[in-house]
Amino acid sequence: MDDREIIALFWDRNEEALAAVQEQYGGMMLRLAGRILASREDAEEAVSDALLDAWKAIPPHKPEHLMPFLGRIVRRRAIDRYRRETAEKRGGSEMALALEELENSLRDDNTPEEIWEGRALAAAISEFVKSLKEPARGIFIRRYWYLDTVREIADRTGSSQARVGMILSRTRRKLAAYLKEKEWIE
């Protein structure tokens, strides 16, 4: 079943839409939530919450592409759960490692979670990412949006882990310079 057919089921308020999403995108959603959350149970709960959010959002929204729409919802649900559960301590997930890498590049008084909450900063980062050329753009997105490990990115791109690590390091430095230029960080 393609995205248009699944979205039509949502619009018709047909519960088969949820089963179709689970079949087509359930694995992706669970992997994404699992990279943010250390517990499989928490990841499954985040996916369940995301499915409910999708049910409530379609209609009125009619996404053109279902995978990024669902990815954004499950990512937001998982990050919200991550923040609640790690209010006092950090660690145990790919999310913590990815944020720590960025935090080292974005030295500021705020944590990456606090910095990213600003919509204007998100727009600036989006502008930066759009300016990147491949393969740096794809590697950066795989690491910091989908939270793929360096090994997974290397396997996906046919590159060595060392090359992927070097591209990420250079891109983080470019991001830091870009944000300094835009006066987001000192």
Residue 157: its pLDDT value, please? 95
Domain count, the chain: 2
CA angle 80, 171, 101 (to 5 degrees): 45
List the CATH number of the domain containing 141. Answer: 1.10.10
Domain co-membership, 119 together with 172: yes
Q: pLDDT at position 28, please?
A: 92
Reading the chain (186 residues) residue by residue, the pLDDT tens digits are 999 999 999 999 999 999 999 999 999 999 999 988 988 999 999 999 999 999 999 999 899 889 889 988 999 899 888 877 765 455 555 666 666 666 555 544 455 455 445 667 777 888 899 999 999 999 998 898 888 889 999 999 999 999 999 999 999 999 999 988 988 777
Q: Which long-range contacts (CB under 8 A, 24 or more apart) does 56-63 make?
A: 58/7, 58/10, 58/11, 58/17, 59/10, 59/11, 62/7, 62/11, 63/3, 63/7
In a domain, 55, yes or no: yes
pTM above 0.75, yes or no: no
User: Both 69 and 119 in a single domain?
Assistant: no
Query: Which pLDDT score is estimated for 116?
Result: 43
Q: Which of 85, 102, 117 is the last residue of a domain?
A: 85
The closest alpha carbon to 75, from 114, 35, 108, belongs to 35
Q: Which long-range contacts (CB under 8 A, 24 or more apart) does 93-100 make?
A: 93/35, 93/36, 93/37, 93/38, 94/35, 94/36, 94/147, 94/149, 95/35, 95/36, 95/37, 95/147, 98/143, 98/144, 98/147
Residues 50 and 103 in one domain: no
Chain position carrying tokens 């660690």? 91
Range of the domain at 99: 94-181
Number of residues written out for the chain: 186
Residue 51's closest CA among 19, 81, 80?
19
Residue 53 lies in a domain: yes
